[in-house]
Every structure is written in structure tokens, then in C-alpha cells.
Amino acid sequence: MADEQFRQDRFSASIFSRRDVGPGLIRRSFWPGFFSRVASRLQWDARVIDLTSDAAAWPELPDERRARLTTLLCGFCVAEDAVAEHLLPYRDASKRASMASDEDLMAWVFFLQRRDEIRHAAFFDRVAGEVLRLPGDTPAERRDAARAEVPAGVLELFEERLPAVAGELAEERRELAAGVGLYHMILEGIVFGAGQSALLDDLEDGALPGVREGVTRIELDERWHVGFGLRCLIECKPSREAMDELLARGADANGAWGDAVPAAMRERAARMFARRLSVAHLTDPHASTEARVAADARTRAA
């Protein structure tokens, strides 16, 4: 756990490298290129990960373990497809916000993130078909089958809340900061973060090596996505009221997975969410502490 926190801190520190900081802010020409370079180093092919042994081992896992893993894997099957679909309006909204001196490069980084999300969706669709053996001849049919296994909280966030916000961005009725707060900070930073941690912890024994390899690669991709979102929020300069709303929504989203994610992992995801916002000076430490306390209380209540 300490090693993981060290890696997170090193990644955050690299976003705020001193040589790229002017009076109070990173040079705006720097940070889109930084994330573009990070993305280029993390490319991988969802089609080549071997799931043969996973498919053979799956029926032999204990029923309780298969049920827990089914919830998580089906959840990612549905959620990754949703984020890939609804990221496009963010690219256009970033141009309107004029956060970087090179708008084309900014749009390119959003393109790179969407490319990652499409790859993630393809991987979890493979898991759904080859390992879980969900019914359906197409990804859409398998996603329909997966929905029956997904907690209501996850479905509400990814199939109702996210499309609504993306639509408002497309119609210019929503500021980019609100969209990034939901997409990058809550959906990726909290929900995906907790779910990925639960999967990697459960599969540490090597029972499903192909699934674990894919989730490990996806977790690395999501790390730069969250960092990118945090940088976007800094540049957007959201109001205190907007950040208070984000903290409250984050606390609500923390229980989306239900019992499929252990309470300790949900609490850790909530703490990291609040800490990111505080370190970036988007919230004050007192507000972040209140958010952690609220999230922990809601997690225990769930």
C-alpha cells in the first residue's frame, strides 16, 4: 500500500515539475504535451492478452468468488463502453474553455483518452464473452446480458448521470469543470479506482492471469486520465460552490459497487479523491477532511 501511494505521489509530482512552473502555474503549453507523451508510452493491444487459462479456470472458482468477480467484471464491461461513448463532447468543450495555448494538442489528448477507453471496453467485452461466457453474439448483446449483474449505483452513474452531463456539454449548457469533475474525478478516480483495486487484490493469487494483466494495464491508463482531469480542473478554476458539489457527489458515488468492493478499498478511494483536490488547491484541507468523513460514514452505512 505504501509503494502504491509512493507511485501515485511521484506521478502527481511529475505533473507539477518545477522546471515547467511559472509564477504560480505550469506553463500552459507544457501539460497537454506531457500527457500525450505519457499515453504514448502506455500503448497495448487488448486483442493479444491470452485468456485461455482464465476461461478454463473460471468454472472451477468457488461460487461466492465467481459472484463477486462477475459483479465487478460486468460492471466494467458496461461502464467502459459508456465512458468511451460519452467522451467526445469533452473535446469540443475543452476548445471552448481555451485552457491551453495549443487547442489542437488539447483536443488530441482527449482523443488519446478516448482511444484508451475504447481499448478498455474491447478488453472487458472479451472477458465477458470468453471467460464469463455471457450470452450474445455482439458486444451490445453481451453488455445487455451484463447489466443484470451490475449494481444499480453503477448503472445510474454511467448510464444516466454521465450521458446527461455529456449531453449538456454538447449543448453548451454545462461548463467543462462540472463534466471533468464527474468523469475524471468521480467515475474514474473513485468508482474505477475502487473497482480496479478490488479486482487486482482478488486476482493476486494468479487464478485469472489474463484478466489480471489486462486490469493492471487499464489501471495504469486510468492513472494518467485522472491526472489529466485534475490538471483540467486546475485550469478551469471552478468556484467554491462547484467544488462543494463535487465533494458531495463524490461521497455519494463511493458506495456504487456495494459489497463487491470491500469497505476499506472504498474508503481509500474516497481519501485519494479528497486528497487530489486538496493537493491541487481546489479545496481547502478542512473541506477535504469533511468529505472523507462523510464518505467513510456512507461507506459504513452501506
Q: How many CB atoms lie within 10 A of CB 101?
A: 12
pLDDT at site 223: 93
- Is residue 41 within 8 A of residue 164, CB to CB? The reply is no
Q: Which tens digit of pLDDT belongs to each residue from 147-196?
A: 999 999 999 999 999 999 999 999 999 988 999 999 999 999 999 999 99
**Cα(195)–Cα(188) distance, rounded to whole angstroms?**
10
**Cα(107)–Cα(99) distance, rounded to whole angstroms?**
11
pLDDT at 18 > cutoff 60? no
Secondary structure, 3-state, 68-124: HHHHHHHHHHHHHHHHHHHCHHHHHHHHHHCCCCCHHHHHHHHHHHHHHHHHHHHHH
pLDDT at site 179: 94
pLDDT at 5 > cutoff 70? no
Question: Which of the listed CATH numbers 1.10.620.20, 1.10.10.10, 1.10.150.530, 1.20.1300.10 matches domain 29-234?
Answer: 1.10.620.20
Per-domain residue ranges of the chain: 29-234
pLDDT at site 4: 43
pLDDT at site 250: 95
pLDDT at site 96: 76
Residue 134: C-alpha distances to residues 68, 125, 140 (Å): 15, 10, 11
pLDDT at 42 > cutoff 70? yes
pLDDT at site 297: 54
**Cα(250)–Cα(205) distance, rounded to whole angstroms?**
31
Q: Which tens digit of pLDDT belongs to each residue from 254-271?
A: 999 999 999 999 999 999
Q: Which tens digit of pLDDT belongs to each residue from 98-128?
A: 554 556 677 788 889 999 999 999 999 999 9
pTM of the complete model: 0.83
